[in-house]
């Protein structure tokens, strides 16, 4: 922005010249490559962290499940050995309960005979052992195949060989743990004291459980490898949108914000939501930069003309001619006023894309309509008429809607003559508030209905002072209310501009009609003070609300 000051005949005139300045900042290649490398390391580190976390969970699950299973198998094996030991003792009791040797059919004559019969009759299972002791000394055993010879172990003989009552206990032998039950044996007429022992080598019996645990660890290890591979692939898929975000952010330039993340085919999860949010942020940034760029382009385009006019007249100014000075001063003032209006309109359009541009509050549509009608009458000498009034509560920004309606009315004054009429009105239709400004002027050329709402579009108006921003501001205000604006026009028959706004909170027309002693509103009756509404192309004004020039 450059300011030029010209002094002529004691008069100082300041003109502001808009210059387009383009600043381009380039990131050093080393910095960009370093950021890319750091980003790659961060993503790779994240992938490794995910992989490590998954592997840790799988490993912990494997160890816990293997340990619990192993302990359950050990407990089941111990319970089975104890059950078998008690079963062997019970069977020994049944065999000797009658006191008759089932092989010979004769009665037992000694403790030695009882022990020999019992041990030789029962067939020991693998890792199972039967022993017989008489008066503390070893006498019989079931089989020689055993991890160790308990018959030759004096400590075990002392512990189990001379018990006076049944003993169930554990013994740590050279081959590991031994679970045994020792039962004393006596026979009437024989003073000898015998003991029969049923024992299991527990560690050897538990080898099946140990082997099962080893198999589980081996299978779990293979599963861990497969889980690692799956976790690596899954982490890559999960982090793919993040890499896309990183690539998109790296490729975004000061003048190109069109890069987006492709989310097609991705699952709808939190990562996809992050990508969608990032795309939305880029949309807002791009819209903001485009708005700023358009604003600067519009300013540089529209300010050139008045600045050129002012500069040309200042260069040709005759400082010795008072009349020339007065004419030039008037022209400069007029151009500065036009520039001021132009800048004000451009600022309004720039703010229109900000969330705080409109502040909707519950507003009485009828009061708003009457207020707008009272204000537009001072714009020009025309036949102003109020066609109908909607008595409803609507959520809108009354100041912005008033600004839009006055802009439409002001636009209508430039397309009409003093004997033409300009009418306003409001109505509730299809749950929306309809506001319109209708005139009987020259109308619009066919095909220009949409173009008149674009910036700097002047339609077929011959106005020399118009910048073509008034209707663009109207469109921005309506869009900020999430409404729509339409125009119905034909050459020579005038034009009707209609604002359709959502946000109707309560329809008070029946109450208003009853208060005014009128029938409720329907398709044939408007909510104006006392006016019947006729066909839209034959609207008539409310005689109570009519201003004549």
CATH number at residue 277: 1.10.287
* DSSP annotation of 454: S
Q: What is the structure's pLDDT at 536?
A: 34
pLDDT at 4 over 80: no
Match 């050329």 to its residue by tokens: 445
Average pLDDT score over the chain: 77
Give yes or no: residues 176 and 213 share one domain: no
Last residue in a domain, options 248, 280, 302: 248
Give yes or no: residues 384 and 465 share one domain: yes
How many Å apart are CA 161 and CA 170, to the nearest integer? Answer: 14
pLDDT at 418 over 80: yes
* Residue 25 counted as domain residue: no
Asked if 516 and 525 touch (Cβ cutoff 8 Å), the reply is no
Give yes or no: residues 369 and 500 share one domain: yes
Strand 546-547 and strand 383-386: the pairing is antiparallel
Give yes or no: residues 284 and 313 share one domain: yes
Selected residue with higher pLDDT from 471 and 543: 471
- Other beta carbons less than 10 A from residue 543's beta carbon: 10
pLDDT at 394 over 90: yes
How many Å apart are CA 339 and CA 230, to the nearest integer? Answer: 67
Give yes or no: residues 66 and 195 share one domain: no
* Residue 510 counted as domain residue: yes
How many Å apart are CA 349 and CA 151, to the nearest integer? Answer: 107
pLDDT at 15 over 70: no
Give yes or no: residues 403 and 518 share one domain: yes
Closest among 519, 539, 428, 436 to 530, alpha carbons compared: 519
Give yes or no: residues 228 and 156 share one domain: no
- Other beta carbons less than 10 A from residue 21's beta carbon: 8
Selected residue with higher pLDDT from 29 and 196: 196
Closest among 422, 399, 487, 481 to 451, alpha carbons compared: 487
Q: What is the structure's pLDDT at 519?
A: 37
Residue 458, token pair as written in the block: 């002047």
Give yes or no: residues 219 and 257 share one domain: no
Structure pTM? 0.45
Q: What is the structure's pLDDT at 451?
A: 67
Closest among 175, 195, 501, 472 to 342, alpha carbons compared: 472
For residue 55, CA distances in Å to 47, 101, 225, 299 come to: 12, 66, 9, 61
Closest among 173, 218, 196, 176 to 74, alpha carbons compared: 176
Number of domains in the chain: 4
Give yes or no: residues 383 and 450 share one domain: yes
Which three-class secondary structure state does DSSP give residue 77?
A: helix
For residue 230, CA distances in Å to 120, 265, 272 come to: 60, 20, 20
For residue 363, CA distances in Å to 12, 277, 428, 504, 525 come to: 48, 34, 14, 9, 23
* Residue 327 counted as domain residue: yes
Query: Which of 336-345, 426-435, 509-518 has maximum average pLDDT?
Result: 426-435
Name the residue range of residue 154's domain. Answer: 98-204
Residue 417, token pair as written in the block: 């003559």
Strand 421-429 and strand 383-386: the pairing is parallel
Asked if 247 and 260 touch (Cβ cutoff 8 Å), the reply is no
Give yes or no: residues 496 and 392 share one domain: yes
pLDDT at 515 over 50: no
Cβ-defined contacts of 349-354 (< 8 Å, 24+): 349/295, 349/455, 349/469, 349/472, 349/473, 349/476, 350/291, 350/292, 350/295, 352/473, 352/476, 352/477, 352/479, 352/480, 353/287, 353/288, 353/291, 353/476
Asked if 111 and 99 touch (Cβ cutoff 8 Å), the reply is no
How many Å apart are CA 191 and CA 326, to the nearest integer? Answer: 154
Give yes or no: residues 314 and 192 share one domain: no
Helices 322-351 and 270-315 cross at an angle (nearest 10°) of 180
Asked if 114 and 108 touch (Cβ cutoff 8 Å), the reply is yes
Q: What CATH number should be reported for the domain holding residue 135?
A: 3.30.450
pLDDT per position as a tens digit, 489-500? 877 788 999 999
Query: Which of 157-161, 242-246, 489-493 has maximum average pLDDT?
Result: 157-161
Last residue in a domain, options 296, 321, 351: 351
pLDDT at 74 over 80: yes
Give yes or no: residues 416 and 439 share one domain: yes
Match 């066919």 to its residue by tokens: 446
For residue 517, CA distances in Å to 508, 512, 514, 529 come to: 14, 9, 5, 10
For residue 349, CA distances in Å to 216, 300, 471 come to: 72, 15, 11
Confidence of residue 10 (pLDDT cuts 50, 70, 90): very low
What is the DSSP track for 467-486?
-S-HHHHHHHHHHHTT-EEE
pLDDT at 460 over 80: no
* Residue 3 counted as domain residue: no
Q: What CATH number should be reported for the domain holding residue 388?
A: 3.30.565.10
Sign of CA dihedral 390, 392, 394, 398: positive
Confidence of residue 267 (pLDDT cuts 50, 70, 90): low
* Residue 2 counted as domain residue: no
Last residue in a domain, options 248, 279, 301: 248
Lowest-pLDDT range, 108-122, 190-204, 282-296, 389-403?
Answer: 282-296
* Residue 4 counted as domain residue: no
Asked if 102 and 95 touch (Cβ cutoff 8 Å), the reply is yes
Beta-carbon contacts of 504 under 8 Å, excluding residues fewer than 6 positions away, are 392, 393, 394, 395, 428, 431, 432, 433
């Amino acid at each position: 922005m450059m300011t030029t000051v010209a002094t002529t005949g004691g008069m100082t005139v300041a003109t502001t010249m808009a210059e387009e300045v383009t600043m381009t900042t380039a990131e050093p290649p080393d910095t960009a490559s370093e950021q890319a490398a750091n980003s790659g390391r961060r993503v790779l580190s994240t992938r490794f962290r995910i992989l490590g976390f998954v592997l840790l969970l799988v490993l912990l699950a494997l160890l816990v499940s293997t340990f619990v299973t192993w302990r359950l198998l050990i407990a089941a094996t111990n319970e089975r050995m104890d059950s078998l030991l008690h079963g062997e003792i019970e069977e020994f009791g049944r065999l000797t309960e009658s006191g008759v040797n089932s092989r010979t059919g004769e009665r037992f004559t000694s403790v030695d005979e009882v022990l020999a019969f019992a041990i030789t009759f029962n067939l020991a299972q693998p890792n199972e052992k039967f022993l017989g002791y008489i008066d503390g000394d070893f006498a019989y055993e079931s089989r020689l195949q055993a991890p160790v010879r308990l018959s030759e172990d004096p400590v075990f003989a002392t512990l189990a060989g001379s018990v006076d009552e049944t003993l169930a206990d554990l013994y740590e032998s050279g081959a590991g743990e031994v679970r045994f039950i020792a039962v004393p044996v006596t026979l009437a007429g024989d003073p000898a004291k015998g003991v029969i022992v049923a024992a299991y080598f527990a560690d050897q019996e538990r080898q099946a459980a140990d082997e099962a645990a080893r198999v589980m660890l081996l299978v779990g290890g293979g599963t861990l490898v497969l889980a690692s591979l799956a976790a690596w692939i899954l982490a890559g898929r999960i982090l793919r949108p993040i890499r896309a975000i990183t690539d998109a952010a790296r490729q975004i330039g000061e003048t190109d914000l069109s890069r987006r993340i492709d989310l097609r085919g991705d699952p709808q999860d939190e990562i996809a939501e992050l990508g969608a949010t990032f795309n939305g942020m880029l949309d807002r940034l791009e819209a903001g930069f485009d708005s700023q760029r358009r604003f600067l382009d519009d300013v540089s385009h529209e300010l050139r003309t008045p600045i050129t006019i002012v500069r040309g007249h200042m260069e040709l100014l005759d400082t010795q001619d008072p009349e020339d000075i007065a004419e030039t001063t008037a022209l400069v003032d007029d151009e500065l006023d036009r520039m001021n209006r132009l800048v004000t309109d451009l600022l309004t359009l720039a703010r229109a894309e900000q969330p705080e541009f409109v502040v909707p509050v519950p507003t009485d549509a009828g009061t708003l309509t009457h207020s707008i009608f009272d204000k537009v009458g001072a714009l020009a000498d025309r036949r102003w008429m109020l066609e109908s009034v909607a008595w409803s509560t609507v959520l809108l920004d009354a100041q912005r809607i008033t600004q839009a309606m006055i802009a439409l009315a002001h636009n209508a004054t430039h397309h009409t003559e003093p004997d033409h009429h300009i009418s306003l009105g409001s109505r509730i239709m299809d749950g929306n508030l309809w506001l319109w400004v209708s005139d009987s002027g020259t109308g619009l050329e066919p095909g220009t209905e949409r173009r008149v709402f674009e910036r700097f579009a002047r339609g077929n108006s011959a106005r020399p002072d118009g910048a073509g921003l008034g209707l663009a501001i109207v469109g921005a205000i309506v869009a900020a209310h999430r409404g729509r604006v339409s125009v119905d026009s034909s050459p020579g028959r005038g034009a009707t501009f209609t604002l359709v706004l959502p946000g109707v909170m309560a329809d008070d027309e029946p109450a208003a009609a009853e208060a005014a002693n009128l029938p409720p509103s329907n398709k044939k009756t408007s909510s104006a003070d006392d006016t019947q509404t006729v066909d839209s192309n034959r609207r008539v004004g409310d005689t109570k609300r009519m201003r004549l020039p």
